[in-house]
């Protein structure tokens, strides 16, 4: 009986202690957040332990998600010259290349983009592919799968795998021989789903100007809200709101309206088809 009561009291004290800890934590967090004490400046590095934890966390996460990726025969699908064309167009300004400095863009960021000679050598192909295709959230590393075709991504991986072993002279030769190459963009879209289409909206930065129903994003009023889009009669006040017109508009707004602030974002037609379908059906 005595032990029973003691046991019950122990549970009570532990509960009170746990709740107090949560409260203190929430209170301290609120104070730090609301006072503005937490610096978001790109000149302020994490604490050492935070940095190491995040660095290792990235490796664990990439390893887990890249696990399902089947590496194709790179000799067959990949082309190092094409890979370098992609790298030169999209990667070099932040990551640099052997003997080539990164642009100022890649010097002012925190976390600072890696110099890839090391990671390209150490990381498995699937990991490099995953990080290139999907990017790294809150690091400044974009996802490239909406700019570079799958073969183009594998070519980029093939270039990365070759890069650490190239002399400066060999790299210069590769640069010259790849002058005429261009980086292949995707031409097809994955099959339709709301989730995939939301990724598309983000990948073309639509949600930076438009509030889009069903999505988490900034409460922005730069462009009109696209909630309840199906009820609209006109697109941008100039085109009757039909699915086909909406696709045309998303692909080339500047061609349709002389005055619109909405830029052409190089949305490929298959992606625009999904976006139009999403907007036309999201309230169902």
Partner 1 sequence: MAGRMFRFIGLLLTSSWLVACIPGRDYEPRIIGGDPDQGREALARYECGVCHVIPGVPDAIGKTGPALDNYSRRSYVAGKFPNEPEVLVRWIADAPAMAPQTAMPAIAMSDKEARDMAAYLYESD
| Contact with partner 1 (CB under 8 A) among 71, 74, 77, 236 | 236
Residue with tokens 């100022």: 104
Least Å from the CB of residue 83 to partner 1: 39
Looking at the Cβ atoms of 200 and 235, the one nearer to partner 1 is: 235
19 binds partner 1 (CB under 8 A): yes
Considering the rule CB under 8 A, would residue 160 count as an interface residue with partner 1?
Answer: no
By CB under 8 A, residue 232 contacts partner 1: yes
Using CA atoms of 24, 26, 32, 34 in order, give the dihedral in degrees to the nearest 10.
-130
Q: Is residue 73 close enough to count as binding partner 1 by CB under 8 A?
A: no
- CB 156, CB 148: distance < 8 Å: yes
238: contact with partner 1 by CB under 8 A: yes
Task: Determine if 34 is a binding residue for partner 1 (CB under 8 A).
Answer: yes
Should residue 76 be labelled a site residue for partner 1 when binding is judged by CB under 8 A?
A: no
Of 79-87, 108-116, 167-175, 216-224, the window that binds partner 1 (rule: CB under 8 A) is 216-224
Q: Rounded to the nearest whole angstrom, what is the least distance from the CB of residue 255 to partner 1 in the complex?
A: 12
Residue 73's CB is within 10 A of a number of other CB atoms, namely 8
| Residue 219 vs residues 44, 152, 195, 213, 225: alpha-carbon distances, Å | 28, 35, 20, 11, 9
* Closest CB to partner 1 among residues 164, 224: 224
And the tokens for 20?
């107090």
Asked if 134 interacts with partner 1 (CB under 8 A), we say no
Between residues 12 and 54, which has the closer beta carbon with respect to partner 1? 12
CB atoms within 10 A of CB 159: 28
Site membership for partner 1, residue 262 (CB under 8 A): yes
- Sole binder of partner 1 in the list 261, 263, 266, 283 (CB under 8 A): 261
| Nearest one of 248, 246, 216, 251 to 230, comparing CA atoms | 246
- Structure-token match 């045309």, residue found: 248
Toward partner 1, which CB reaches closer, 27 or 57?
27
Instruction: Tell whether residue 224 is a contact of partner 1 (CB under 8 A).
Output: yes
Piece in contact with partner 1 (CB under 8 A), picked from 15-23, 41-49, 85-93, 98-106? 15-23
Instruction: Assess 233 for contact with partner 1 (CB under 8 A).
Output: yes
Q: What is the separation of C-alpha 1 from the centre of its chain, rounded to a whole number of angstroms?
A: 60
**Out of 23, 32, 54, 101, which residue is the one contacting partner 1 (CB under 8 A)?**
23
Footprint of partner 1 (CB under 8 A): 19, 22-23, 26-27, 30, 34, 221-225, 231-234, 236-238, 257-262
């Amino acid at each position: 009986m005595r032990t029973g009561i003691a046991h019950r009291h122990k549970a009570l004290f532990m509960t009170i202690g746990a709740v107090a800890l949560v409260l203190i934590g929430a209170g301290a967090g609120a104070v730090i957040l609301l006072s503005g004490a937490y610096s978001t400046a790109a000149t302020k590095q994490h604490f050492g332990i935070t940095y190491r934890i995040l660095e290792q966390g990235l490796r664990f996460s990439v390893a887990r998600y890249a696990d399902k990726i089947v590496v194709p025969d790179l000799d067959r699908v990949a082309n190092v010259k094409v890979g370098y064309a992609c790298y030169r167009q999209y990667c070099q300004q932040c990551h640099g290349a052997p003997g080539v400095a990164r642009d100022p863009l890649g010097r002012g960021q925190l976390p600072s983009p890696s110099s890839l000679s090391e990671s390209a050598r150490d990381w498995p192909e699937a990991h490099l592919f995953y990080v290139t295709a999907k990017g790294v959230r809150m690091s400044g590393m974009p996802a490239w799968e909406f700019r570079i075709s799958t073969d183009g991504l594998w070519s980029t991986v093939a270039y990365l795998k070759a890069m650490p072993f190239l002399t400066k002279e060999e790299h210069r030769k590769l640069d010259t021989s790849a002058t005429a190459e261009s980086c292949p963009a995707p031409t097809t879209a994955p099959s339709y789903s709301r989730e995939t289409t939301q990724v598309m909206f983000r990948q073309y930065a639509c949600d930076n100007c438009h509030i889009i129903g069903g999505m988490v994003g900034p409460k922005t009023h730069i462009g009109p809200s696209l909630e309840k889009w199906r009820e609209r009669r006109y697109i941008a006040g100039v085109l009757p709101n039909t699915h086909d017109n909406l696709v045309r508009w998303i692909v080339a707004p500047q061609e349709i309206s002389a005055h619109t602030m909405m830029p052409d974002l190089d949305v490929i037609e298959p992606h625009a088809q999904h976006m139009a379908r999403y907007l036309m059906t999201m309230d169902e």
